[in-house]
Amino acid sequence: MNLHTILGGIRYTFADLKEVMAKANEEKSGDRLAGVAAETVQERIAAKVVLSEILLSDIRNNPLIPIEEDEVSQIIEGDINEIIYGEMKNWSVAELREYILRNDVGDRELKRISRGLTSEMIAAVTKLMSNLDLVHAANKVVILSTCNITIGQKGTIASRLQPNHPTDNVDGMIASLKDGLSYGIGDAVIGINPVDDSVESVKRLLHATKDFIHEWEIPTQNCVLAHVTTQMKAIRQGAPADMIFQSIAGTEKANRSFGITAELIAEARELALKQGTGSGPQVMYFETGQGSELSAEAHHGIDQLTLESRNYGFARHFDPFIVNTVVGFIGPEYLYNSKQVIRAGLEDHFMGKMHGIPMGVDICYTNHIKADQNDIEDLGVLLSAAGVNFIIAAPMGDDVMLNYQSMSFHDVATLLQTFGKTPAPEYLKWLEKIGIYENGRLSPRAGDPAIFSR
Amino acid sequence: MNEQLIEKITKMVVEKLQSKNLKIVDLPKENEQMAVTLFQETAGENRIPEEKVIPTPLGDVKFFKTTVEEKKPNNILLRTPTKEDKNDDTLAELRKKTPARIAVGRAGSRPKTSTWLQFRFDHAAAVDAVYGEVPQEILNRLGFFQVHSRVMDKEEYIRRPDLGRRLCDESKKIVKDKCKHSPTVQIVASNGLSAKAIEENLEDVFLSLVQSLKNLSIDIGTTFYVDKGRVALMDEIGEILQPEVVIILIGERPGLVSAESLSAYICYKPRIGTIEADRMVVSNIHKGGIPPVEAGAYLGTLIQKILKYEASGVSLVKKEG
C-alpha cells in the first residue's frame, strides 16, 4: 500500500491508512477537534490522491479497528459477500468511484456491489466524490422498505411527522400531529421524542398515536424515540409500537456509552417482530450523525465520516425500516457551519444508500451553529434531487422540545411539488380520500388541522 | 454588524412588541380570536397562572408573536360564515394546547410572510441569546463562589467541548479548598449555552431542590458555579470531591420558544470515564416547560431514588428491573 505522493513539488507521506482516510476528508470541525484533519488544503488533496490509488483489498486487509476489539467491525466484516468482494478487490478507490458513476451502472449493479463493500470502502470512495457526484450516484439507488406500508419508491419522498411537545402533553402532541397530517406529512413514521424517558410516558404516547392512527385509518407507523430498553419494557407491558428506535454509533465503545450492544439491538428486533404492532418485515428505526463517537470519546483516532459509515454497516445488519442522520444537530464543534452540514448531509445519505439501507435525513441546525433556515432549505433541495427516502418535519421547522430547527411541513410539501414527487403511494391514496391531496398535490383544504377535529 | 448594535436593536424591537402584546393579554376573555394568538400564554395557563401578569424577560418568544395572520379568518378553508367561525374556534383550541407553530396557514405550499418573518426573528433572538454572562448578584445572593473551566472565550467554548469538561488548574485547587469533601449530593451550576437560563431559573430550582433534599434528610455539599462548563465536568468534580451524586444545573442551547431553558444532569458517582448513558437529565426547566420550583422538588425525589439503587441512567433502569 503506497502512502506517499508528490504534489506541487512537495512530498507528502502518511503514516497509515487511518491518517490517509482522515486527511482526505473535506473540512470538518470535528476532525480538527479530534486532531486528525489535514493541516493544509494541499495536504487534504494529497491525501485524496493517495487514497484514490489504494486498493479495496488494502482497505480490507488493514482494518481501522480490528474485529477482535470491536463488535461493529465484526458485524461489518461478517456481512460481506466474499464472491462479490472478490470481483472488486483489486479495484482502486478511484476505480470504485468511476464504476459507481458509469452510465450503465444503475440500481441493480450498485445494490450488488454494496454487498461486497465494507463501510470503510464506502467511506473511502465518498471522500473522493464531489457534492454533485454524491447527489447523482445516490439518486441511482432505490431502496424500498416495508413496515405497515412501503416507502422509498422512485418519485416519492416520505416524511417523519415529529409532533414533539415540551412536556409530552398528549393533547399538545395530537395538535401538532393534526397540523402535520393536514400537509400530507407522516408516511415514514409518526415519531415522538419524549422529554420523559419513563415507561409510563412512552406507553401513553404509543397508545395516543396508535389510537389516532386507528381512528383515522392512517396507513403509517408509530414510534416513540425513548431509549431502546424503555421501549422494550413498554412493549412487554402491552403498548402498541410499530417499530423500535435507537440512536446508534460506529464503534462498540460509543454504542456502550449509548447503553446498547449488538446483542441488545438483536433482542429488541426479535421483540418487535414477536410483540410489535408493525406488519414488517422491517421493524427497526435508527438515528445516526457524524461526530457522536468523538463526543463519546470512543472514536479510536478515526475521522467522523468513516465512523458514520460504520453506523450504516451496523444498521444494515438489523434490516431497518428507516435510518436517518440528524445531520445538523450535534453542534458546531463537529460541523461548524452550513457548508459542513450540507456536505455531511450529502455524504451520509450517499453512504446509507451504498449500504443498501432506507436512508433519510433530519435536515436541521441548532441555534449556536453558523446556519439558518435558508441553508437547510438548500440541503432539502439537494437531497430531494438525490432521491432521499424520507425527511423529518416539525411545525414551521421549530421543534419546541428539542430546541432546534428542522424542515417544516410546508418545506416537505414544497419540495414534493417542486420536484413533481409525491408521498408514498399508499399514503397518497389516503390523503386523497381525506381530501388533503388532489391531483398529486395539496388540495385547497390542505393545511387545516381542523379536518381532524370532529 | 457589531454585536452591541444588534443587541440594542433587538432590545428595542422586543420592547416595542412587549408593550403591544401586554395590551393584548389584557383583552377580555371572550375575544378568543385575539387571545389565541398568544398561544404560549394560554398553553402555559394551567400550570402557571401568574404568567399572565408577570412581564416576560427579554428574549422570550411569547412576546414576538404577531397577530397579523391570525386576525384574518382562514378563507381558503370553508365557505359559510358559521362554519368559518367554528373552524376558527377549533384552530384556537388546537393552538392553545402547544407552543408549536401550528395552524399558521399557507401561501401556496409556503408559509405566509408574517409567519416566516416571525420565525426568522425568533431565530435571530435565539442566536443573540447564545452565551451571555450570569449576573454576579445572583451568585452572591445564593452564596455560590465562581470557578472556570479550561475554556478561554466563547469561540473556544463552541469549538473545544473537551476544554469545557475540565476545570482550570486554579479552579481545581479552589474547589478542593473551599468545598466539603465526600458529601452525599454535590450541586453545581453552570451557564453552559444560556446564561439566561441560569438567571431566570437557578434560584427557584436550587432553593426548592435544597428544601426537598433537606426534607429527605440528604446531606448536601458546598454548591458553586462554573463559568463556561459542559455536562461532563461532573466527572472531574466527582474525582475531586468524591460525592455520591453530582447534579449539574446548566443552561441549554437556546431554542426558538425559549432561550432560557435549564437542564439538570444527574449521575451516581461520576468519575473520569463515566459513560453518557449513566447520566440522567431533566430538561426543559423554564416557566413554559417544567416550572423551576416543581423541577427542584422532583429532582430531590429523583436523587433519593438514585441513592437507594446506587445507580443512575441506564444502570438505574436495569437495577429497577
Structure confidence by residue, pLDDT tens digits, A404-439: 999 999 999 999 999 999 999 999 999 999 999 999
Query: Where does a domain end: B129, B164, B198?
Result: B129
CB contact at 8 A, A452 and A216: yes
Reported as a single tens digit per residue, the pLDDT across A155-189 is 999 999 999 998 899 999 999 999 999 999 999 99
pLDDT for res A295: 85
Cell 443512575 sits at which residue? Answer: B312
Nearest to A24 by CA among A120, A117, A113, A102: A120
Choice between A197 and B5, residue whose per-residue pLDDT is larger: A197
Query: Where does a domain end: B85, B113, B129?
Result: B129
Q: What is the mean pLDDT of residues B87-107?
A: 94
pLDDT at position A52 over 70? yes
Q: Give the whole-angstrom CA distance, residue A168 versus residue A7.
A: 57
Please state the ipTM of this predicted complex: 0.95
pLDDT for res A196: 83
B52 lies within 8 A of chain A by CB: no
pLDDT for res B131: 63
pLDDT for res B82: 63
Whether B229 and B186 map to the same domain: the answer is yes
Whether B56 and B175 map to the same domain: the answer is no
pLDDT for res B116: 97
pLDDT at position B49 over 90? no
Choice between B113 and B76, residue whose per-residue pLDDT is larger: B113
pLDDT for res B12: 45
Which amino acid type is present at position A440?
G
CB contact at 8 A, B303 and B218: yes
Backbone angles phi, psi at A327, to 5 degrees: -70, -35
Which residues of chain B make contact with A176, given a CB cutoff of 8 A? 98, 100, 102
pLDDT for res B76: 43
Whether B116 and B189 map to the same domain: the answer is no
Whether B187 and B290 map to the same domain: the answer is yes
Sign of CA dihedral A11, A15, A16, A22: negative
Reported as a single tens digit per residue, the pLDDT across B52-86 is 333 333 333 333 333 333 333 444 444 445 667 77
Reported as a single tens digit per residue, the pLDDT across A93-121 is 999 999 999 999 999 999 999 999 999 99
Which residues of chain B make contact with A166, given a CB cutoff of 8 A? 99, 257, 284, 288-289
Whether B86 and B181 map to the same domain: the answer is no
Range of the domain at B199: 136-320
pLDDT at position B19 over 50? no
pLDDT for res B11: 47
Cell 421483540 sits at which residue? Answer: A271
pLDDT for res A385: 98
pLDDT for res B256: 86
Whether B30 and B121 map to the same domain: the answer is yes
- What is the length of chain A? 454
Nearest chain B Cα distance for residue A246, angstroms = 13
Residue A31: pLDDT band with limits 50, 70, 90: very high
Whether B160 and B301 map to the same domain: the answer is yes
Question: Which domains are seen in chain A, by residue range?
Answer: 145-452 (3.20.20.70)
Reported as a single tens digit per residue, the pLDDT across B130-188 is 767 789 999 999 999 999 999 998 888 888 888 999 999 999 999 999 999 999 999 99
Whether B244 and B274 map to the same domain: the answer is yes
CA B67, B68, B73: angle at the middle one, nearest 5? Answer: 100
Q: What is the mean pLDDT of residues B289-311?
A: 94
Nearest to A210 by CA among A148, A301, A126: A148
Whether B147 and B123 map to the same domain: the answer is no
The CATH number for B187's domain is 3.40.50.11240
Q: What percent of chain B has pLDDT over 70?
A: 74
pLDDT for res B35: 27
Q: What is the mean pLDDT of residues B250-274?
A: 90
Choice between A448 and B127, residue whose per-residue pLDDT is larger: A448
pLDDT for res A275: 98
Other Cβ atoms less than 10 A from the Cβ of A233: the count is 20
Q: Give the whole-angstrom CA distance, residue B109 versus residue B112.
A: 9
Chain A: residue whose CA lies nearest to B122:
A398
Which residues of chain B make contact with A195, given a CB cutoff of 8 A? 283-284
Mean pLDDT of the residues in chain B:
78
pTM: 0.83
Residue A38: pLDDT band with limits 50, 70, 90: very high
Burial (CB < 10 A; 0-12, 13-18, 19+), residue B259, is buried
Which residues of chain A make contact with B115, given a CB cutoff of 8 A? 396
Whether B169 and B212 map to the same domain: the answer is yes
**Most confident residue range from A61-70, A194-203, B51-60:** A61-70
Cβ partners under 8 Å of residue B186, min gap 6: B179, B220, B221, B223, B237, B238, B241, B243, B245, B246, B247
Whether B114 and B186 map to the same domain: the answer is no
Q: What is the mean pLDDT of residues A317-339?
A: 96
Nearest chain B Cα distance for residue A414, angstroms = 5
Q: What is the mean pLDDT of residues A315-337?
A: 96
Q: What percent of chain A has pLDDT over 90?
A: 97
Choice between A216 and B6, residue whose per-residue pLDDT is larger: A216
pLDDT for res B17: 36
pLDDT for res B187: 98
Q: Do A403 and B257 touch (CB under 8 A)?
A: yes
Whether B144 and B270 map to the same domain: the answer is yes
Which of A400, A418, A445, A452 to mutate to probe the B interface, most B CBs <10 Å? A400
pLDDT for res B48: 31
Q: What is the mean pLDDT of residues B283-300?
A: 91
Query: How many structural domains are present in chain B?
Result: 2
Which residues of chain B make contact with A367, given a CB cutoff of 8 A? 123, 126-127, 129-130, 253-256
pLDDT at position B314 over 90? no
Residue-by-residue DSSP string for A161-204: E----TT--HHHHHHHHHHHHTTT--SSEEEE--SS--HHHHHH
